[in-house]
Amino acid sequence: STQSTGVESVTCDDGSVCPSGTTCCKLASGGYGCCPFPEAVCCNDGQHCCPNGYTCDVSAGTCIRGALPLQTLPVSNKMSAESTVEKVESVTCDDGSVCPSGTTCCKLASGGYGCCPFPEAVCCNDGQHCCPNGY
């Protein structure tokens, strides 16, 4: 019988482990990274991922849902997969969604939240863009 350690995780194809609620995505290096979204879409550049239901627009650095450009989200860089499960730092947005550590939750024009790839960033009023702290 298997013993539960109380820590849920996702095992990647190469045997590395990602935290529960994340998705294993193959990196350009050949290893695996942990995308911070459950059942995420792994972009074909081997560096980025999008939430479930979105498609990658790698050239624009966005995730697109349907044909509505207002619902784009910044592409989230994958975290490195760990050989053992460790505490994963994250930022919780006002709507309960989660962004990786080192990013900032920004309200989108659609009313949801996206992850700006800068810590303590300034969210622009257009609901689509953000700037590094101090800009």
Q: What is the pTM of this model?
A: 0.51
* Lowest-pLDDT range of 31-35, 83-87, 95-99, 106-110: 83-87
Q: With 0-12 CB in 10 A as exposed, 13-18 as middle and 19+ as buried, what is 67?
A: exposed
Contact 101, 107 (CB under 8 A): no
In the chain, % of residues over pLDDT 70? 76
> Residue 57: how many CB atoms within 10 A of its CB?
16
Q: Within its chain, how far is the Cα of 103 from the centroid?
A: 10
According to DSSP, the residues that pair with 90 across neighbouring strands are 100
**Would you say residue 9 has pLDDT above 70?**
yes
d(CA 125, CA 86): 36
Report whether pLDDT(12) > 70.
yes
80-107 average pLDDT score: 65
Residue 68: per-residue pLDDT: 52
pLDDT confidence of residue 79: 54
Give pLDDT tens digits for 37-90: 889 888 888 888 888 888 888 787 778 776 554 334 444 555 554 433 333 456
What does the pLDDT average to over 96-107? Answer: 78
